[in-house]
Structure 1
């Protein structure tokens, strides 16, 4: 179809079509005989995307940047991602609300001197160790951000990484992913301390715990 027909089908003016071509977000074909612009169904789809994004308030430059990064991008694909992210946020909200309720119940029980349930004991221990773990992780992460570390600092980083694992273990109620995270931190610290063999072992342990998280039947833990 020619530019007039394309304009009729898309609701765009010829001037807008030429402007979109100049911006590189709409690329027409050329008739080999007369070099006139020609358009097909794929061009209509792109024009529809542009119109949809414009209705949402995006500028032409913003649309050009998005389509250049992901030519297959569409309102539908973004909406799908939004829905998935919203679902994740709702789950996190539910988990947070449950955690708040548990913490409130723990505070009330501890203030009244009541016996704690097994779950409350684990939560109590996590609160008791939270300051130590926060300090250890802060020191370790600050050290990892530096380009290099001295021998004493390297040993302290390794100690902090192992402390994180010990504290997590004492807290109880952890998932395999939590242990995987700790072993990766230990591996990073050992890497800085120039202990590649030990670092590799902890990377393998982290990978094994990741496998356990995905499949509880997995049992091949390094020894």
Structure 2
């Protein structure tokens, strides 16, 4: 199939497909006499793997190391280890996001519910003190 059809079937742009080819991620490309690229059916599933891995947070270098070698052989152990490592990274990121969300919600609550009797010039310090106290409480609970 030509690049336009491949782009349509994968949902990727032709320029993205050419980028993957230039980056060495997509090597199953033949050139016809007229210079047009000709892609076999394996290009379709390779692009699905590449796009899926990128959306899961893998870098292009990580993807390159995980793709099958020139003999279409998967490095099973390396692939499994890399997938497990990515899951651990995602779990760590999720924990940080939960903590960041909690801090932001506390900041919002603190700003909305600050005491009116605190002088305007003292309010930023009051808010910061409350946020610091919450961080101290969190570390004491750990």
- TM-score per shorter chain, which class? 0.3 to 0.5
Per residue, is there more helix in 1 or in 2?
A: 1
Structure-1-length-normalised TM-score: 0.31
- Which of the pair has the greater relative contact order for Cα pairs under 8 Å at 6+ separation? 2
